[in-house]
Chain A
Amino acid sequence: MEFPGLEPGREDAEPAAAKASLGRHAPSAWNEEITHRQKVLLHAEPIFRLKIRGDARLTDEHELGHYDSTALVFKIFDLVLETMGLESELDMGGLAHAVGPLLRAMDEAAGKEPDPERHERAVRRVLDWLLNEDARREPFQVQYTDFGPGLEAETRLMPVTLMTEQFTSTGNGVPRLSPEAMNLYLNAINFPIEDRELAFAAMIRAQIDRGRLTEAEHSARAALALSIQLREQIEAVLRATQRDIRQVDWKTDVPQKLQEAMNHVKKRVLADRDITAAAEDKLNNLPPGSAEAQQMARIILLVELAFKQHVRLEERLIVALPTFLDEHARQAFSPRRGAAALDLASEVLEPLMRLTRAQALEITEPLVGVYSPISVPTVFWLEGLITQLLQPKREVREHVVEMPEREIQPVGEEPLRFDAETWAAAGKWLDTVQTSTRLSDLIKRARAGEADDAVVELVALRTLFLYAPDGESSDSLMAEKTGERFRLGAYQGDNLMLRRIKVGDAVET
């Protein structure tokens, strides 16, 4: 695809009239603003990639082709955002259930019977895509073209994370929107979090005043999500400081960010109180138990939750400076203290395996110690031991089913591959060996004498056994290797020599 006018050389070729029409403020061929806007829009690219390419992989074999993945993605975004930070935060199963009505509607439109299992599969696949499970949950890499000062075209990759999974207090995981996805969904990707949050606060207040409670509730949910996002962002900076102080710019960037955050939190705390007061005032004038009153109570709850996030953030900000000073003192003379930018495979595992065996053994025990979980030491308790030793033998309780004694029956003898008649016939052929006879000759003789296949097979097997008898053999025949090989129909191998043992023969061992 060509973009005329982007190359410097092409500008000269433009008609003079067109140039004149641009006047004195001829637009530059490319600028940072275009790059920025392009990147903003490209945050949605993975969603459309799922739509275009992903639908096909979701589909035919799994009968999911009639589901619109984009609709499912945005409904999931909405559900996650709506419950973020609340006790009722939805897990994967909860999402599948909540998206159910949409899936049923799409089933109906496609003339298919609703199937809960298929619904779960569809939601699971969309979530796997949003988490980028194919790339082990690493960010999507979105490709775009940027232009340098001399209009050199450069292909760049922008990492985009849409969804993550967070641990909850019960050890399970809940999906969470990434800041990019949240901003994308709230249609505010171009503004700093603080501005958006204050904008939402002002919006909630205005919506309450105008009685638009449904919209106010949605705004309150969005504001709560943004509060969580801001707190997590500040905590990430503090965590990075604790790991490696050189990782963050503590001279200009971070103090400025913290100061801005502090100012913002102060404003938000005031705004939260203002909203709560206004909402409580309205609530007092509403009929108790009415739908409006319930909705207003939910708004108050959401604003209070956001208020708690701000109080927690304020506390973290107050200790941020001492954190920096402590870490500065602690890390000042250390070559590297934290796990910052530490690649475990190349910076720990590989150097460890590169050591000599003796060196590596030197640190194996402490290494396993730091990688293992805590082991709580047991304390010897004499009273406990005595109690255990003296406790009476456990009685058989009535409800315990005793195992009946099994009656053991003798099983029949192992079935034989060859019956007695075949054994007798094969024995007769072996008895014919009086002088040294090759196995191939004996087989030929037996076949010529119209012996059954089973008899011939048994003759061959018994000859093999005579070569390497399992234990002591009472046979007066023995078989030896000749170094020759033979092939007769299905039989092939060493052409063993059969010999009758006579008294006085020396047997090699």
Chain B
Amino acid sequence: MLSRRDYQQAGRLLHWGLRPTAFPGNEPEYAEALRRYLDDGEFREAFVYFALGLGLEVVEAAEAGLVLAPSSGSLFRVKMADYRSSTGADDRLIEGFIHVGISATVFPTAESLEEASTRRRPAIRVDEVEETLRRVCERLAAEAEGEPDPTREDVETGLIAAWRVYDRRVAKDSGRRRVGVATEGLIEKTLETLTDAGMFVQRMQQGKTVYQPTFRYQAQIAEFSANAAYRMVCNLLQPAGEPKDVHA
């Protein structure tokens, strides 16, 4: 039977779990509540269901921290308008590709995604993410070779293949173009946003800026986002007429 103090401690654990840059090793209260979560089944169950009611899923809990992810329709889920107020449809689309591209660069193989989230993956660079995305574009472009070019109607109704949107964007900004349209700039911006949210740590390595994924990022992708994204894509690929659920 949990006491009032236990419920309060569960609330404090939630408080710390919502702070992306807090670490149990630096916050004794967080460490104590987390230890309780790991060791006490009753406490853990109460916490998990309370968080679920709030729209939060516990995706990972280890000595390195508690990782929460927003469930479908959650108040805690980021909406694009929250941080990209003036982007067009193509920019939004590219942003989606970039998020998946970043995760595919951090976890380049199925085996790497299966490893424990507490195992630190190597840091990534902007050009590596770009390479991951361009490689897929090249593969799809090779497949599409010989097919007729899209018609104007296809372009206007959005029936062109999505990869073409990424493919026709330049990789690097040049002086003559509007700044911020090149894909490498957009990747950098996305990584910086994720860094601010405690998902990456930026540092210099051999004179180049690298982004080190944190436990929080690795856990969220491996235990939550990868699966959710896979289901979203599968739902869209279902034959017409079948019910679709694009909200993971």
Bound Cα distance from A365 to B114, whole angstroms? 26
In A354-373, which residues have CB < 8 Å from any B CB?
A: 354-373
Cβ distance A379 to chain B, nearest Cβ, rounded Å: 11
Interface: A171 (CB within 8 A): yes
Bound Cα distance from A374 to B225, whole angstroms? 12
Whether the Cβ atoms of B18 and A232 lie closer than 8 Å is: no
What is the interface of chain B mostly: helix, strand, loop, or mixed? Answer: helix
Other-chain contact of B118, A166, A351, A358, A369 (Cβ < 8 Å): A166
Interface: A170 (CB within 8 A): yes
Cβ distance B144 to chain A, nearest Cβ, rounded Å: 10
Interface: A385 (CB within 8 A): no
Whether the Cβ atoms of A369 and B78 lie closer than 8 Å is: yes
Interface: A328 (CB within 8 A): no
Given A374-B76, A377-B76 in contact, is the A166-B162 Cβ separation under 8 Å? no
List 26 A-B pairs, Cβ < 8 Å. Answer: A138-B109, A164-B119, A166-B119, A168-B63, A170-B23, A173-B120, A243-B227, A336-B234, A344-B103, A345-B136, A349-B136, A353-B97, A353-B136, A355-B237, A357-B165, A363-B96, A363-B236, A365-B79, A366-B232, A366-B248, A367-B100, A371-B99, A372-B99, A373-B78, A373-B198, A377-B76
Cβ distance B219 to chain A, nearest Cβ, rounded Å: 9
Interface: A319 (CB within 8 A): yes
Interface: A88 (CB within 8 A): no
Contacts of A336 in B (CB 8 A): 230, 234
Bound Cα distance from A356 to B20, whole angstroms? 35
Counting from the closest, the 9 A-B pairs by CB-CB distance are A358-B158, A170-B25, A169-B25, A372-B78, A353-B163, A360-B162, A371-B99, A344-B104, A167-B64
Contacts of B227 in A (CB 8 A): 243, 337-339, 342
In the complex, what residue of chain B is closest to A375 when comparing beta carbons?
Answer: B78
Whether the Cβ atoms of B104 and A345 lie closer than 8 Å is: yes
Bound Cα distance from A357 to B118, whole angstroms? 36
Whether the Cβ atoms of B229 and A371 lie closer than 8 Å is: yes
Whether the Cβ atoms of B41 and A169 lie closer than 8 Å is: no
Cβ distance A422 to chain B, nearest Cβ, rounded Å: 34
Other-chain contact of B159, A133, A353, A356, A377 (Cβ < 8 Å): A356
Contacts of B76 in A (CB 8 A): 374-377
Other-chain contact of A370, B18, B31, B110, B248 (Cβ < 8 Å): B248
Whether the Cβ atoms of B116 and A232 lie closer than 8 Å is: yes
Interface: A312 (CB within 8 A): yes
Contacts of B101 in A (CB 8 A): 349
Whether the Cβ atoms of B96 and A355 lie closer than 8 Å is: no
Interface: A136 (CB within 8 A): yes
Bound Cα distance from A344 to B38, whole angstroms? 30
Bound Cα distance from A298 to B222, whole angstroms? 38
Interface: B166 (CB within 8 A): yes
Whether the Cβ atoms of A133 and B122 lie closer than 8 Å is: yes
Bound Cα distance from A370 to B226, whole angstroms? 9
Whether the Cβ atoms of A342 and B226 lie closer than 8 Å is: yes
In B129-169, which residues have CB < 8 Å from any A CB?
A: 132-133, 135-137, 139-140, 157-166
In the complex, what residue of chain B is closest to A359 when comparing beta carbons?
Answer: B236
Cβ distance A318 to chain B, nearest Cβ, rounded Å: 9
Interface: A239 (CB within 8 A): yes
In the complex, what residue of chain A is closest to B197 when comparing beta carbons?
Answer: A373
In B54-97, which residues have CB < 8 Å from any A CB?
A: 56, 62-65, 68-70, 75-80, 82, 89, 92-93, 95-97
Cβ distance A121 to chain B, nearest Cβ, rounded Å: 12
**Interface centre among A235, A319, A355, by most B CB within 10 Å?**
A355
Given A171-B214, A354-B140, A373-B216 in contact, is the A312-B39 Cβ separation under 8 Å? yes
In the complex, what residue of chain A is closest to B133 when comparing beta carbons?
Answer: A349
Bound Cα distance from A342 to B86, whole angstroms? 34
In the complex, what residue of chain A is closest to B89 when comparing beta carbons?
Answer: A361
Contacts of A360 in B (CB 8 A): 93, 96, 162
Interface: B172 (CB within 8 A): no
Whether the Cβ atoms of A357 and B194 lie closer than 8 Å is: no
Whether the Cβ atoms of A339 and B222 lie closer than 8 Å is: yes
Cβ distance A353 to chain B, nearest Cβ, rounded Å: 4
Contacts of B135 in A (CB 8 A): 345
Bound Cα distance from A351 to B109, whole angstroms? 16
Whether the Cβ atoms of A368 and B108 lie closer than 8 Å is: no
In the complex, what residue of chain B is closest to A338 when comparing beta carbons?
Answer: B227
Q: Using an 8 Å CB-CB cutoff, how does the interface string of B182-224 with A read, 1 for contact, 0 for none?
A: 0000000000001001110100000000000011100011111
Whether the Cβ atoms of B38 and A169 lie closer than 8 Å is: no
Contacts of B70 in A (CB 8 A): 369-370, 374-375
Bound Cα distance from A371 to B64, whole angstroms? 20
